Structures are given as C-alpha cells and as structure tokens.
Amino acid sequence: MTQIPTFSDRLLDWFDEHGRKTLPWQEEKTPYCVWVSEIMLQQTQVSTVIPYYTRFMTEFPTVSDLAKAPLDQVLSLWTGLGYYARARNMHKAAQIVMGTYSGKFPSALEALEALPGIGRSTAGAIVTLGHEGWAPILDGNVKRVLARYHAIDGWPGKSDVVSQLWAVSEDHTPRERTADYTQGIMDLGATLCTQRNPRCVDCPMNIDCQAHIQDRVSDFPGKKPKKAMPQRSTVFVQCVDAHGLILLEKRAPAGIWGGLWSFPELSEDESLAHWLATHGLTLRDDAETQPRHSHTFSHFKLEITLIRCPVDVTNSRIADGQQCGWFTLHNALSLGLPAPVLKMLNSLID
C-alpha cells in the first residue's frame, strides 16, 4: 500500500508552489519585522495590515526607533487598526529589548514570552521566522487547520481543547525548513482552509483530513458559546473655540482606548451645563446634539452621543498640557485617536 506523505511534507510541497512569499514583512525576515507583523496580524486581516505595516516601518525602521518614539506618535500610526493595547505593549517591549537585550530580540521562547504582548504563538513565529529556530505556533489560522484535520471538537478558547491543538502542532512541526512550514500552515489557513467556504478540493490535506472525510468541515473549530452583547452609552463633548480649536483630552493609560486622545466624556448623570461651568466654559451659540455613533468592541457595544459646543474660553480653567489641549483640526488628526473620534473629526472636514 502506498504510504501517504506526512502532513509537513505535503504542506511544504504546497507552500513551494502556492505559498505567499512577497508580503512586505517577508522582504526582510528580521526578528523585529516578524514581531511587528505578527502583532499587527493578531485579530486583523493581511489586507488591512499591509498599509499600516508599511507606514509603521517607514516611521520606525528599527526597534531603537520605536523605543525612542513618544507613545503618542506610535498610537497615531495605529489609529484605526484597533486593539490599541497591542501598540502600547509594543512600545514597552521595544524599550525592554533596548535596555535588557542591547537591541537584539532574544531567541529563547521563555524570554520572548516575558515581553509585553507576546504570547506563545507569537514567540514561536519570531523564533522560526526571525531566528530560523524551531518552535510550534498556534494562531487562529493554524487552530482552524489542525482542528479540522484532526476533528478536534470544542471551542479553542477552552484549555483542554487548546492543549490538544498545541500537542498536534508540536507533532507536525518539522525540524527542517521550520520557517517555511510555519509560513505555509498560516497561508493554508488564510487561503484554502478559510472560516467560510473552504476550498477543500484544492487542499493538500483532503485525503486524510477528518473533518473533510466526515463531511463536518463547518463544525470545526467549535464555536465560542454565544452571550448577549452588552450595550453601554456615553456622551462626548466636542468643544470648539472662536478660533476653531478643538478640545481633546488624553485618556488614562489603562482601560478602553488607553492613552488615546478623545473628546471629553460626561460622567454618568452629569449635565452638560454642569460640565461647562466646572471647566469655566460658556456657550457662544446653541449646543447641537449629533446623531448617535455606534462602536462595537469584542465584548460590548458602545453608543456615543456627540454634543457640539461652540464655546467661549475667556474664563477657561483648562490649560494645554500632557493630558488635555486645544488643537487645530489638522493637528488633532495627527494624534492617536479611537476610530469613532477619528470619524467624528473627519466629519468636520466634510
């Protein structure tokens, strides 16, 4: 009986012919380039990441450049990419790499995982793609491929399921051509073994993929248990002075949109009149309540009411500083901004 080539052999043959080899971060496979791309690709599609990656690497071509940059500058280049903790953690990690490792990314998994924002899979990608070492990975694409190939039931967010997936990932990862295998299995999940409408007929694993054999491809990986999406609401105050300057304040480092610039936010049950009086601002004209903006996070939906307020700042108790400031529209758009705030500011151009 003819023996079926191993999983890794078939994957490498497929990668040689069909794998992606011209992505921007593949042009120079340094640990730094791999790290930046892997962090950006977390929960974000390649097509979305490419322009962000290009701009980011133009601004910060080395880990030293990133470490020395102000966090505001880093966040401004991240605006619109979402999950801003990734950018804050990258900035912290870059400073640790410079201070602890003399600007060179460690090649040991344990040392990489100790850096802010780097988990086991990202560390494995840096080891294999950046250092040409050996390590398994288990990003979203790889979880899907392996869950289907082995028909591993259950949601990969559960510890017992992810343990099974790590075990088979280790078993399949070859000791030779590890970097090509790592890129190949990510590519397979991204291009053939997709979440919807997978192209099983073209897959090199279809001969013994258990999900395909059982005609249960859509059952794997298991779905996350559904919960009702909580809804929250808030009110933003868009103050514009007589010169067209816009008031923004920097949010706390932790929490939603940590470290980003946003419009002031009314606290619960606080009236606009009280907020204006507290800050020594008076209306020059009627305040205008704008249509609500909806913004969906991974764990809740936020309804934002924006109140536009033309204000007189003669008696203002707001002074420009590190935590708040009056900005021209042009300067405001250069800051690190939450996506809905960016959208609201852009509407002023229109």
Contact 50, 75 (CB under 8 A): no
- Cα separation, 30 vs 61, in Å, equals 11
- Cα separation, 305 vs 19, in Å, equals 46
- Cα separation, 36 vs 28, in Å, equals 12
What residue ranges in the chain does DSSP mark as E strands? 231-240, 246-250, 261-262, 282-283, 288-289, 293-296, 301-312, 324-327
Q: End-to-end distance of the chain based on CA atoms, in angstroms?
A: 70
- Cα separation, 124 vs 143, in Å, equals 14
The vertex-111 CA angle with 162 and 184, nearest 5°, equals: 50
Q: In this structure, are strands 231-240 and 261-262 parallel, antiparallel, or unpaired? A: unpaired
Would residue 38 show up in a list of annotated catalytic residues for this protein? yes
Instruction: Tell me the torsion sign for CA atoms 50, 127, 203, 10.
Output: positive
- Cα separation, 160 vs 256, in Å, equals 30
Q: Give the type of residue at 248.
A: L
- Cα separation, 43 vs 159, in Å, equals 20
What contacts 91, CB < 8 A, 6 or more positions away? 66, 67, 69, 71, 74
Query: Which member of 17, 27, 28, 38 is catalytic?
Result: 38
Which residues does the annotation mark as catalytic? 38
